[in-house]
Structure 1
Amino acid sequence: MNGPGREDIVMFIERRTGRRLTALQQADVLAALDLDGDAAQGFMAAFAAEFAVDLTGYEPRFHHRDEGRAVRPGWPIAPPHLFGVRLPVSVSTMTQAAQTGRWPVIYPVLTAARSRQWLNAPLILIGLPVLAAVVIALVRMF
């Protein structure tokens, strides 16, 4: 195929992030760069602009989480990826997208389960006072 090659994609990643990925890291670019949420979206948008790729078919929920690490519910324990599935974005996939001008991945049709994030509020409202009581009791003992 004509168009940008693998080395062009690797050079783009290096210019954008300042990191040269190893061959193993090139198999999963977003994980290697530790990109989630807006950072991952920005990276993919920059990739699309640089190589004139139509990301209409790109489904971010299969490749990375929605929010940054510190603002996710359950921080510092990361929630599982949507559907328990995480598809890597490899340099090969990015090269194919750059050469064809469109995102090449075809995603399965899955229905998202209802969110259980409402459980965080009761856990905080009950857990923090209990934790405070335990800490106070321990301080008074010593």
Structure 2
Amino acid sequence: MSDARRLLAEWFEQVLGEQLPREGDADLFDRFGICGDDASDFMDAFGARFDVTGDEYLWYFHHEEEGWNFGALFFAPPNRRVERIPITPDILVRAIETGRWPVQYPPHALPKVRWDIRLNQSMLLVPLAGAALWLWRR
């Protein structure tokens, strides 16, 4: 076992209370139910602990967002616009060894505007504006 893998295994057990799978290609987020904000927290803690630059990490390839997104029923969020890439022990070990995020993402394009989020916002703002107008007219 390499030093990087041993350090990862120790940290993984501290953070999740679980043993790091022996298989280098194990899908950690799927196996341990890590998603949404927990996945972001996991990756932030990983980067901080092992001094790995996360600038090149694109969350939407690896996990979905937290919570229920009504707008996603009509407009695909970023994670549904790309093919998922699992976070594996091998990827994390390479990140520790190089100090950089090692995943090379395929070419992709995301819309400049998150229409799913805009729809969610309008569902909140339209009723509030209606209520304000109603109160103002009274």
> Does 2:89 match 1:85?
no
How many residues of Structure 1 are paired with residues of Structure 2 in the alignment?
Answer: 114
Cα offset for 1:58? 0.3
Give, in whole Å, the separation in 1 of the partners of 2:69 and 2:12: 26
Secondary structure of 2:33 counterpart = coil
> Does 2:71 match 1:58?
no
User: Is residue 53–residue 101 contact of structure 1 (8 Å, CA) maintained in 2?
Assistant: yes
Residue 98 of structure 1 aligns with which residue? 96
Q: TM-score, normalised by structure 1?
A: 0.66
- CA-based RMSD of the aligned residues comes to 3.0
Residue 122 of structure 1 aligns with which residue? none
AA matched with 2:52: V
Task: Give the direction of change, closer, same or farther, for the CA distance of 1:54–1:115 in structure 2 (3 Å limit).
Answer: closer
For structure 1, list consecutive stretches of 5 or more residues without a partner in the other structure: 119-142
Residue 124 of structure 2 aligns with which residue? none
Residue 18 of structure 1 aligns with which residue? 17
Q: TM-score, normalised by structure 2?
A: 0.68
* 1:36-51 matches, cutoff 5 A: 36-51=35-50
For structure 2, list consecutive stretches of 5 or more residues without a partner in the other structure: 120-138
CA deviations on 1:63-84 (whole Å, 9 max, x unpaired) are 000124xx2448xxxx994225
AA matched with 2:85: L
Identity %: 32
